[in-house]
Structure 1
Amino acid sequence: MFHQPTVLDSYNVYDADQPLRHWVKTFQGNYLSPSLSEFGQRVSSGPVEAGFAANKYKSKFKSYSI
C-alpha cells in the first residue's frame, strides 16, 4: 500500500518538527538544539514502545451481566 505511514522506531519529535526548529533558530535558541534533540529522542521512544506493548496484549471483554 502507498498510504501507510512510516515506522516510528527511531522517531525524534524535535528533529521531525520543522516549524519548531525554525522558531528555535529564529529566536537565537540554537545553543539548545542538542539538548532539545536529546529530549525529543527520549520522549518519543517511550510512547512508541508502550503502544506496541498495548497492541500486543489485547483487552478482553468482560460482561457484568448476571
Structure 2
Amino acid sequence: MAVMVAMQMDAPHTPLRRIELPIPHPGASQLLIAVIACGVWRTDLHVADGEIPARYPVIPGA
C-alpha cells in the first residue's frame, strides 16, 4: 500500500510528529496532486497555541 507522510499535532503545545497515511483515491471529478512542501498559516499557529478550538489530532497546513 502506498503511503504519504504528514506532520500531526495531537494537542496544543505538543510537538508535531511524523505519521504515514494511505494515499487517498480521488473520486469522480477530483484530482490527486503530489505536494512536495506545505506552508503553515498563522491560523495553524493559533491552533498550536490552543488559542483557537480544534478537533485534535490535526495536521497543520492541510
Q: TM-score range by the shorter chain?
A: under 0.3
Q: Which structure has more strand as a fraction of its residues? A: 2
| The structure with more radius of gyration | 1
**TM-score after normalising by structure 2:** 0.27
